Structure 1
Amino acid sequence: MPEMTDVVLKRPLLIAIDGPAAAGKGTLAQGLATRLQLPYLDTGLLYRAIGKLMQIAGLDLDDAQAATAVAEKLTPADLQRADLRGREAGELASRVAVHSGVRAALIAFQRDFAHGPHGAVLDGRDIGTVICPDADVKLYVTASAEVRARRRTDELLAKGRSVDYQAILSEVKARDARDSGRVEAPLRPADDATVIDTSALGPAEVLMTALSIVENWQKRH
């Protein structure tokens, strides 16, 4: 494998990373933020926090008005919960993200972070298309549903969970359909995004590819 590209930023850079669940966008976003010394926001945590807070309060996740009310009161401290990383929280997030009021309530939160003085890396489902259409570099990280389901299955098995690959695959496909089919900000690559298919790539290879894209962008600007 070629050595990792060494990129030194000429100025603060805004990088938007989108893609479906378990494609590797979070790992890539954290890697880029670390290598380029940029602030990082996992926007999926916003929706996970809303879903989890609604579940704890016994609220109906399909109630758009209730979900919007929770979103409007979300604070940075809510993102520090220890129970936002699991599969369940991801499913909750996908359900509340379909509500237009929730998405509208979170736009300012995300844009304020993105346009800070030091640049930023944000990953989610609509960063390059809705939240930061002005991002300097836009990446769309994807992989086949089968590969993503296998990754999620292996991850859960490693944690000692008893899971079924076919059940996980069905969940992945259902979530893809929900995220891509929603009326508000459907999951799709921005027109000017570079697509990275991680199906046959490891995390280091994905990071190297992304760093090369950033370096090429800088040469053109």
Structure 2
Amino acid sequence: MAAPSAHLPRDPDAPRVPADLPPLERDADAPRHDERYAEATLPWGDAAGTEARGVTIETARGEGVDLTGARMPMLTLLDVALRGGSLANADLRGASLRRTSLDRLRLTGLALTDASLQDVVLRECRVDLAALAGARLRRVVFADCSLAGSALQDLRAEDVAFERCDLTEVDLTGARFVRTTMRGCTLDGIRDIERLRGVGMAWSDVLAAAGAFAGAIGVRLLDD
């Protein structure tokens, strides 16, 4: 892990996932309540609508996993790499994600209310209209993601980086950010944009978002 600085977020630890993992040995077309799945490639390409509480997944890979609309509260992911597939409209409230990477997943409408994300990287994911209210993020990276319209009320973010993300109309009411950066992000229509106090941004990004910041503090624009 890179050494921390006073202002820049610390890098997340990468998932500890072997390059080659066997498929699950037992029949498992979909996750089941309170089951633990470890050291395997996940086969859930057609598991939309699954209902399974308290599932634990450790040291696993998944390609094209489809858990659209799944109800899996209290899910635990540890050392997991997922690529492609969908968790759109899934209910993962209270989940714990640690050393996890999510690449090119559809996460529209995902519920991660009161979840804990530590050492997590999301790349090229659609996280629009998602619910992260009350979630706790530590050493998390969002890269080339859309979070448009998502609810981040009372979010607690420490060592978080948003890189080239669409944050249009995100609700930041009550959110708190520590050692957080935003680079190349769209900030139009953010609710409670004042919550970005202390977030690190490049000057070019500050200028691009000048209208949003001016509106937040009540600046009255004059005709040239």
TM-score, structure 1 length as denominator? 0.27
TM-score, structure 2 length as denominator? 0.27
Which structure has more relative contact order (CA 8 Å, sep 6+)? It is 1
